[in-house]
Structure 1
Amino acid sequence: MKKLSFISSVMVLAFLSSCTTDESPIQKEQIIEVVTHEEPLSAIEVSNQINTLFEQNGSFNWSQASDYLLWSAAINGDNILTIGYGNEGESFSTNRSNELIQIKDEIIKTVLTTSSDTSKKREDILLYDDPILNNIDVIITDFNSVVELRKNNQIRYIEPEGFTFSNENLERSSSGCSQSGETISSSDYGTLPSGAKVPWNFYDHNIDDAWAYSTGRGIGVGVIDTGVSSKQSYLGSKFDDAYSGRTISKYGTYVDSIWPWKTNTDGPDDKCGHGTSASATIAAPNNTASQFVGVAYECNLVSYRGTSDVVLNGYHERKGVSKALVELGDRNDVKIISMSIGYPWSIGSIKDAIRYAYSKNKLIFAAGGTSTDFTNWYGVIFPATMSETVAVTGVEEQTNYQECDVCHTGSDMDFTIIMERNNNHHQPVLGFNNGDSSYFGGSSVATAVTAGIAALVWSENPTWSRAQVLQRLKESSEFYPSKDGDFGYGNIDALKAVTGNGI
């Protein structure tokens, strides 16, 4: 049978429903045939419609999608819908009320009663029920399920968590996976008395001068990324060689499987390289082996492998990041969370998790966006667009502000970090393998540097609140008290941030 569009199907149904109630058996069969053979859009067609909405509005949210587009995306994404329930702003509940339980049960009942397969039971359609966040994952097959669910005003969002957008240009990232070592130009670093190497851009932000007052000791920083390499001993067994008592902890919440029902994670070890670079930027130790040092080289590090790469476009990546946020939120030893990862538009389950971590007084830094020259016209990406996060991007080393070749800017931006030279060299960092170094760029490295500076400030002022630390970062930035429309408060002076002098 020829594929029917959603609009034409509605027209046919409207016409047939206007007939008398004593239709012939053939007419009844025709009605059933039209409904049963309604086909979803293909994954490419869904992506094209999203792209059109994106271009029209400058952004995209699944609330903008038609019922048909949302259903088609779900069908092309392992039939998964993630549903956030409760009142607006009710993202999580540590002690779920009877009202929330009833709302959740009603949602599940709706999916069951609108399914054409009457043999399905609760356990057949409930894929995941989050114990903290007010969201569930359900398996749907029928278009009418989406229609009826969207009538429920106690649903905050409905999103096809398993759908992968297929516009490669928009999703490609230049600061993604790489495990290769690189030769670092001698002009791109200085040297400490210990022999450790200092990245060139640390001097632009007076990080080296700030070390006379604070090195981040006693502050826990959580990094949600692709994990940490098991082959880099300075982010392993040698992490606290110079300073006894310093700790690094590694966890994994990412499930490396194409099957959404799988729950076994593949551990904390980085298989990409991006997470190792981000963690090294923040916390690589002062050392005597001529290796690159991190911004807060005495802080404690808690690494989470929550994703396989920087673009959160897979079901298990989104689940992994959400779980990491909740677990870090519950840790009293972590004050700062750094996320050099993201997606072009919001993801409801991660938004819920960020709000949970924020409610636990975590200071959350997020990358403003890194992509190709062709697509860096797009503004700040999610989750840096959220008010609960601090958005950071990278700029070139020059007098006038200019974003790096692949960096995003926009009105949601809060801070910038210099990380690209005129020769296109980025910040050098400790490498994936022992003895290696590499260059690390984009808003990813800028975010990690800012998280490290925050650790320096908090270590020097251990009784301060999150708001006080963030305010000091603002006051130490070039544009404060103004805020630029593209670059936020601008470049941070780490020495001013730590000491308060010159503010």
Structure 2
Amino acid sequence: MPYRTPAVLAAATALTALLTPPAAASPAAAPGPYALDGGGECTFPMKKQIEGTPWPLQRVLLDELWQDTKGAGIRVAVIDTGVDDINPQLKKAVDAKSGADFLKPLKDASDDANAKRGKTDGTVDEVGHGTKVAGIIAARPRKGTGFVGLAPEATIIPIRQNDEKNSGKSDTMAKAIDHALAKKARVINISQDTTQPLTQNSDLGKAVARALAADVVVVASAGNDGMDGKLKNTYPAAFPGVLAVASSDRNNERAVFSQSGTFVGVAAPGVDVVSTVPGNGQCVDNGTSFSAPYVAGVAALLRAKYPKWKAHEVVAQIEQTAERSINGHDNHVGWGVVDPVRALDGDAGPPQAATPDPAPPRPPAPEPAHLAMTETPQERAERLATYALGIGGVLVAVVAGSATVIRDSRRKRAR
């Protein structure tokens, strides 16, 4: 029987209710739930593949992008709903031995995806969300489709932390991050969010801090609750040091659902995004969930090409090389829409932080015309000399004319 994404994920822009914490939560309860930042209707496994090249990849010169690396040796943790390792494009990408499941077993084990299949390694994904995320990062090339991951030789660590019921909480996400560190992840992708305020002293805040201290690039989606246009923080994206990713459309503008905020670092394609689904094939979806892994794929390539660069330098490079709509930071798309090829050009060395582009040099001001209120002695002498020359010329003309008249008069009298 084919899997089908839950109806609760059908509208990428209507997640407000899912972001509200439980009203009856006890003081000891972990904050949550965590909304999956994407997930439209999509039946899978797919019998047919999507043949064409998706529009986000049409904008990238892949030969140039991959001229030095395709991400080999870089481990990327996908903290999500699990990652399917049956889809042919992910079979060789997923490291099942490093995977984990941090959701508590349900009372009825038959309702739990991993328990039902006898797996606890995070490789069963009944929602399809985590499989799409992983595909955008590291899907291998496959005959019959133009879709491929941005870092098609990177390795995915599958970590199941959420499900179709949004069961994920801050404590399970914190454990998932620590597991990613233990399994040597160089990049962590989190395509989930909550609007419940969290401090850096919370369990999740401390886990993020541990990841950053371990020199791991943490990429998180900004969230899909941006229809009202209001600025608000979402977590873990808003924690300092996390690269928060908004969604952009084909015009490099903020997708209408994408959450805006001062914490947004960059934007990436999040509309009509193609990726892998459990079992076989691909489908199309929308959401910041699929913008974040686009950036995580670029981060994986950077880590492979410049292994000595620190995590914050990788983040700064992605932000500094983004295609900007303004010369500076914007609350809707951050420092701009990520440019994978330009980001991989780090020959000048890594930036320490994103900065506005330098203003073009101004041309020198024109020299003002000389305006004298009085005559200099030289100017007076020149003026008088001009007058004298002019008067002299007039006198010569008068004398010459007079001489001609006198001569003509004498000739007439002589006759």
**Same-fold call, TM cutoff 0.5:** yes
Q: Quick one: distance in 2 between partners of 1:163 and 1:478? A: 34
Cα offsets for 1:37-87 (capped at 9, x unmatched): xxxxxxxxxxxxxxxxx9xxxx99x9xxxxxxxxx95xx23xx433xxxxx
The answer to whether 1:321 aligns with 2:173 is yes
TM-score (norm 2): 0.67
Alignment counterpart, residue 342 of structure 2, candidates 475, 479, 496: 496
2:309 corresponding residue in structure 1: 464
> Quick check: 1:383 aligned with 2:227?
no
User: Which of 409, 412, 416 lines up with 2:267 in the alignment?
Assistant: 416
Over residues 235-254 of structure 1, what are the superposed CA-to-partner deviations in whole Å (9 max), with x where a residue is unaligned?
Answer: 22x449xxxxx988432112
Structure number with the bigger relative contact order (C-alpha 8 A, sep ≥ 6) is: 2
Unaligned stretches of 5+ residues in structure 1:
1-53, 63-71, 83-159, 166-170, 191-198, 241-245, 421-425
The DSSP-based 3-state class of the residue aligned with 1:223 is: strand
Distance 1:319 1:451 in 2: 23
1:161 and 2:25 correspond: no
> Do the aligned residues in 1 keep the contact of 2:30 with 2:169 (CA within 8 Å)?
no
What code does the residue aligned with 2:130 have? Answer: G
Based on CA coordinates, which of the two structures has the bigger radius of gyration?
A: 2
CA distance in 2, matches of 1:250, 1:172: 20
List runs of 5+ in structure 2 lacking aligned partners: 1-15, 349-356, 358-415
Aligned residue for 1:180?
A: 44
Question: Counterparts of 1:376 and 1:482 in 2: how far apart (Å)?
Answer: 20
- One of 160, 164, 167 as aligned partner of 1:305: 160
1:429 counterpart letter in structure 2: S
Q: Output aligned runs, 1:60-459, within 5 Å.
A: 73=23, 76-77=24-25, 80-82=26-28, 160-161=29-30, 174-175=38-39, 178-180=42-44, 189-190=52-53, 199-207=54-62, 209-236=64-91, 238-239=92-93, 249-257=98-106, 266=115, 267=120, 268=122, 269-290=124-145, 292-309=147-164, 311=166, 314=167, 317-331=169-183, 333-347=184-198, 348-371=202-225, 373=227, 377=230, 379-398=232-251, 401-420=252-271, 426-434=272-280, 436-459=281-304
Partner SS, residue 356 of structure 1:
helix
Corresponding residue pairs, total: 318
What is the CA deviation profile of residues 82-109 of structure 1, one whole-angstrom value per residue up to 9, with x for unaligned ones?
A: 3xxxxxxxxxxxxxxxxxxxxxxxxxxx
Q: How big is the alpha-carbon RMSD for the aligned residues of Structure 1 and Structure 2? A: 3.5
Contact (CA 8 Å) 1:174, 1:370: kept in 2 or not?
A: yes
Q: Structure 2 CA distance, aligned partners of 1:445 and 1:354? A: 21
Please give the per-residue CA displacement for 1:279-300, whole angstroms capped at 9, x wherever unaligned: 1110111233537311100011
* Counterpart amino acid of residue 379 in structure 1: K
Matched position secondary structure for 1:282: helix
2:50·2:146 contact (CA, 8 Å) conserved in 1?
no
In structure 2, how many angstroms separate the alpha carbons of the residues matched to 1:164 and 1:298? 33
Give the 3 Å change call, closer, same or farther, for CA 227–477 of structure 1 in structure 2: same
SS of structure 2 residue aligned to 1:281: helix
% identical aligned pairs: 20
CA shift for structure 1 position 395: 0.9
- Matched-pair contact (CA < 8 Å) for 1:174–1:372: no
Structure 1 match to 2:397: none
